[in-house]
Amino acid sequence: MIRIGITHGDINGTGYEIILKAFESEELLSLCTPVIYGSPKAAIFHRKTLESQTNFIVRNSINEVRDQNVNMINCFGEEELKIEFGSKSEANQAIAKRSLDQALADLRAGNIDALVVLPCTIEGCHSQFGYISQQYNNATALPLLVSDNLCVASATNFIPVAGIPRKITTQLLTDRLASLRSTLQRDFSIESPRIAVLSLNPVDSSGVFAGSEEADVIQPLVQQLFDKGSLCFGPYTSDRIFGQREFEHFDAILAMYSDQASTSFHTLTQGEGHRFLSGLPHVITSPIHDAQLEIAGKDSASPQSFLNALYSAIDCVRRRRQFDSARSNPLQKQFYDRRDDSDKLRLDQVSNDDEPEVSLV
């Protein structure tokens, strides 16, 4: 059974609420073994407040985790954690980090198969993915915004707008597109992904871009990659891709800056997408929202984005295993591809008494 680690996020927010709601039904336990990294006392406080009937089993270590249970690793012992719904607290950022650190340790040790990171404040969400990338010594890990029919990445993240043009270089875009393409192939089972690249600048009425980044960097690189066999297209303006729903013709979109990606994504998905941190050796996802301090303790938080992040983690673990297994024997993979694509090469089945015979059809 696939083991999915889950951190509890900001304990003053809705993290425990959406966990408790998600696991009200035991159906999820047929898909994965959840391992929550948190505080049993904090969880009980939330459960009593929400009058939830969801049960969990407290474990002292990962070795005690069992399938068909909602397992909780006690990261805080008998420590009392102060919970004030809706209150923004630096102390709670440290509490969330302790949960994340223990989960990451088990993930990197192979004790769990994937990790779903519950959110902190908006600032905490941004810093959590940055912190995770640092733990893997991977500054190029690429956060994705994902829904059923939309996948968006950003070439630059959380830098001043004035500094974005200097960051848009051929090397940066090459690295981002390579990471995005690899993720789509391995984690989403898209063999030849179609990627749309957005422009940095708007266009005037004659179709001319207002800046030089498109002509100097973006367009030549897109053409170069296309000539080498990568299905990259662009540059497109964001209003064309999102406003005219042309994103439906692509497997992923590479935006130039974070607001260009997130504003349209949130508008189109209405909060039901999730985040995926690509470019790492392990699968890590997160709900699309922050800690939702404004509705904490009111029993009004939806678990849908968390569930989508959980389902995505499960699916990506399976796809990675299939992808890696199919490529562990290159000759076998080549034979499979040729048979699947054209059926020109077929190995006839023979009995044990006959000599193997290869037939060209």
- DSSP letters for 13-50: TTHHHHHHHHTSSGGGGGT-EEEEEE-HHHHHHHHHHH
Tell me the per-residue pLDDT of 304-326, one tens digit each, with 9 for 90 and over. 999 999 999 999 999 999 999 88
pLDDT over threshold 60, residue 27: yes
Structure tokens at 213: 């980044």
SS3 label, residue 354 = coil
Q: What is the DSSP letter of 240?
A: I
Q: Are 144 and 165 in contact (CB under 8 A)?
A: no
pLDDT of residue 80: 87
pLDDT of residue 335: 47
Q: For residue 238, report the phi and psi dihedrals to the nearest 5 degrees.
A: -65, -30
pLDDT of residue 121: 63
For the chain, give percent helix, strand, coil, nearest 5: 45, 15, 40
pLDDT over threshold 70, residue 333: no
Residue 275 β-bridge partners: 145, 286
d(CA 262, CA 167): 19
Task: Identify which of 257, 287, 350, 207 has the alpha carbon closest to the alpha carbon of residue 15.
Answer: 287
Place of tokens 């990568």: 230
pLDDT of residue 355: 38
Mean pLDDT of the chain: 88
pLDDT over threshold 90, residue 47: yes
pLDDT over threshold 70, residue 344: no
Average pLDDT over residues 113-134: 80
CA distances from 314 to 9, 111, 320 (A): 20, 15, 10
d(CA 305, CA 207): 38
Model confidence at 360, pLDDT cuts 50, 70, 90, reads very low
Cis peptide before 235 (omega within 30 of 0): yes
